[in-house]
Chain A
């Protein structure tokens, strides 16, 4: 930890020299070593915590290497293994990766700015598009923040419905991860299977919420609709099927020599490194830290259900795979308990301030019509204040920092996207590995670019 802090220099495109100017947009990319500062170099080679414990020691890395010995290549943003529009710049020595820099922003659509122009009623439709593989988690994070500011109590059924949907969504998200991870490793059958099973859950989502993805199901005050008739049977079938199929995936992948060879011992990360980089979720748990917000800082009714927090040991690719595979099983366990113990009652808080009147009332009551109209045009006002709430999304801690000025729209809406932060671990994991391992590293970090760029 150096005590001398240099004054900030905002790097602009003029500093970019010939090589990168031809191949990239400029200063955001990975630069040649001779124009890269030592602390940035240290970060790019993943020297976050090497050497002296938690300190950044630029002398610990191979800063002496000359530029003509290495090659900077560009990977993405349209590379199929980058799961969207992630662009990585790699500095290679032969086939070994020395430095890595993720370049992001290709999917930036200003959702936080948009969120300031939408009312709290509309807000959930905005955030649900961030992490498009687990929309329910996004809505849950946003609605929890709004409800905390409102001081709103939810009926038990709403809490349990939310919990069940969030867990089903976690299963769907992890299944897609299994599928794409298999595809990156060349196991195309795994890809077909993962997407096939996920479709079961999406079909149930469609039945319940009306949409397969971007559900806008969790709303401030509860959920949008009650569960459909016969939902217990649907969910039980999903649980039975997926639990059976997870055993098949286990058989297909876990003992498979090629799969193990490419996953075991590749790209390890230690618990200290992960925590210093702010990494959460399955990546942190794979290093042996039993940190799962559902258990450690319970929200909804997670303190009333029985489940295990899955942890790994080595923090390598294989552990991250194992953690996610077993989290599917644990989520199924939670879903089964939700089916058994789903309370009766209302699925949204009967608070006229945030809850629209029932549809049937609108036909017969002028006041109900006005109430409905006002709620959906003006929205409701939220007391001034600021709040940070966090939930455990399939990728880690999904936080929502909300500042209200007392009006019907958020003054500032910030979403702490787990993928955005987890992506910082990529240079560390890539370091010293082969280019072919780079593919599995990106895959095992599981970045969702919609959430990274927002």
Chain B
């Protein structure tokens, strides 16, 4: 496990993650500062940002002091110069999930945050262009939420009456 960067905001919990060196769990307030501190610490690339909807999950391991919420934003940072990875998991909220946008730190998160907004309804404060990216403009709902059912088209047999 690698230590937090020197500029990290106080009160960030850490835990070992499976496939990377460290996962840290900032509060929503400390999130942007923590990511900025990692950026200063040599993490040049934000490899991935995605949302997770934990509705119906039996319970996940979180370090002490972190209150689990339904939505989580997971950021995977990558350091090219030191060959390290780090994962930042922030609890985004339950009813109206909202976290600060990382656009000012990593411009490359723009499309990923739009995707998380589109598919989960997570709002990113300060994002320049928060529109749907994969779904049509007038789509209702956020498809990757767990309470959004998987659509199915019934199998149509030759002789059976059609769906209409």
Report how far A396 CA is from B115 CA in the complex, Å. Answer: 19
Q: Does A347 contact B (CB under 8 A)?
A: no
Q: Which residues of A contact B53 (CB under 8 A)?
A: 412
Which positions 125-146 of chain B face chain A at CB distance < 8 Å?
125-138, 143-144
Q: Mark A99-114, 1 if CB is under 8 A from B, else 0.
A: 0000011001010111
Q: Is the CB of B130 within 8 A of A37?
A: no
Q: Is the CB of A416 within 8 A of B123?
A: no
Q: How far is the CB of B61 from chain A (nearest CB, A)?
A: 8
Q: How far is the CB of A110 from chain B (nearest CB, A)?
A: 6
Which positions 287-310 of chain A face chain B at CB distance < 8 Å?
289, 291, 296-297
Among A25, A386, A389, A411, contact of B136 (Cβ-Cβ < 8 Å):
A25
Q: Which residues of B contact A5 (CB under 8 A)?
A: 100-101, 104, 125-126
Q: Which residues of B contact A399 (CB under 8 A)?
A: 47-48, 76
Q: Does A239 contact B (CB under 8 A)?
A: no
Q: Is the CB of A390 within 8 A of B129?
A: no
Among A40, A148, A275, A401, contact of B128 (Cβ-Cβ < 8 Å):
A40
Q: Is the CB of A104 within 8 A of B108?
A: no
Q: Is the CB of B128 within 8 A of A278?
A: no
Q: Mark A16-48, 1 if CB is under 8 A from B, else 0.
A: 000000000111100000000101101100001
Q: Does B22 contact A (CB under 8 A)?
A: no
Q: Which residues of B contact A276 (CB under 8 A)?
A: 44, 106-108
Q: How far is the CB of B119 from chain A (nearest CB, A)?
A: 8
Q: How far is the CB of A448 from chain B (nearest CB, A)?
A: 15
Report how far A112 CA is from B135 CA in the complex, Å. Answer: 13
Q: Does B17 contact A (CB under 8 A)?
A: yes
Report how far A388 CA is from B88 CA in the complex, Å. Answer: 12
Q: Does A336 contact B (CB under 8 A)?
A: no
Q: Does B112 contact A (CB under 8 A)?
A: yes
Among B58, B98, B107, B134, contact of A277 (Cβ-Cβ < 8 Å):
B107
Q: Is the CB of A386 within 8 A of B18?
A: yes
Report how far A268 CA is from B58 CA in the complex, Å. Answer: 49
Q: Is the CB of A43 within 8 A of B129?
A: yes
Q: Is the CB of A384 within 8 A of B103?
A: no
Q: Is the CB of B58 within 8 A of A1?
A: no
Q: Which residues of A contact B44 (CB under 8 A)?
A: 275-276
Q: Mark A402-413, 1 if CB is under 8 A from B, else 0.
A: 010110000110
Q: Which residues of B contact A275 (CB under 8 A)?
A: 44-45, 80
Of all A-B residue pairs in the complex, the 9 with the closest CB atoms, nearest first, are: A278-B108, A5-B126, A40-B128, A39-B128, A277-B108, A416-B48, A105-B134, A108-B134, A275-B44
Binding site for A on B (CB under 8 A): 17-20, 44-48, 50, 52-53, 57-58, 60-61, 74, 76, 78, 80, 83, 85, 87, 98, 100-101, 103-112, 115, 117, 119, 123-138, 143-144, 150
12 A-B pairs, CB-CB below 8 angstroms? A8-B126, A28-B137, A37-B129, A42-B128, A104-B134, A105-B136, A113-B150, A279-B108, A296-B83, A297-B85, A384-B58, A390-B85
